Homo-oligomer: A and B are copies of this chain.
């Protein structure tokens, strides 16, 4: 369920209203006044929530506990008896519209007047530098320093002894103790999630959070996105260099090292103690095992096992990479005129 510190739910909505927004239809014998209270992903939607299912998740759909589900006409017969299928041509696109109806974009009016909201909680010994803005519902623990012109968004929680750099922007995040964030880094903006539709891409509401654990240090001008439902998490003691991009719903383990200008795409999970060199790209929805090492400038397109060292584009075991480099050099010399 989206965290009420960050998201205000606009429901419940009647089933008929949900169907209308989705451009969907439902069968006879269903009470159109049934109340839907929330949106949720298929695996976590309860009987008062609406979800969506695509062909890739047909089996999950057949076992789903949701009260209503956006599906194609082809998939509708597989609905479990407790679930009202809402039939539409593009369930993912329709879900984006429904999710916006439950969580309308919130105007952050709390940031309009004055540098510090009346209901923000700031520890007496925290240092708030000039120009920093602390929004409604934010809380800042003892020993923190919030840098000049930084922006701490509504509901953001910061633990003890953190150092937040100048011009940092924090939103939709919970930050632990002893965290250091260097200047210009931006945390908690909506992840890059869109559904293709008849008039171009449409935004899928991003209703998750960013959780930054204790002793994390993030470099300058980094970006950490929040996810659609699952939180983006950076584990205890992990350190990133400058201009690192962490996509939505990424889970980065404890004590990882990420060198400058690397990017990790959405929903990838990275184990503890992984070392990632500079300018690495890691694709979405992968699993990188604990203790893996990824050489600089690699493009990782497949899972990496625990303790493995990979390199190259596409990334492969490091020995293989260097043998291929040597092979190509040798074959080229041979073929020289």
Contact = CB atoms under 8 A, between A and B. Distances in A.
B336 A332 contact: no
Interface class of chain A by DSSP: loop
A114 B127 contact: no
A115 B130 contact: yes
A217 interface: yes
Interface stretch (A21-29, A66-74, A193-201): A193-201
Contact of A225 (B242, B265, B312): B242
A58 to B, nearest CB: 26
A253 to B, nearest CB: 11
Contacts of A261: 245, 261, 263, 281
Contacts of A215: 200
B149 A131 contact: yes
Q: Which of A145, A171, A236, A241 has the most CB of B within 10 A?
A: A241
A179 interface: no
B314 A324 contact: no
Nearest to A149: B149
B296 A323 contact: no
* Nearest 4 CB-CB pairings of A with B: A200-B237, A111-B129, A223-B242, A169-B183
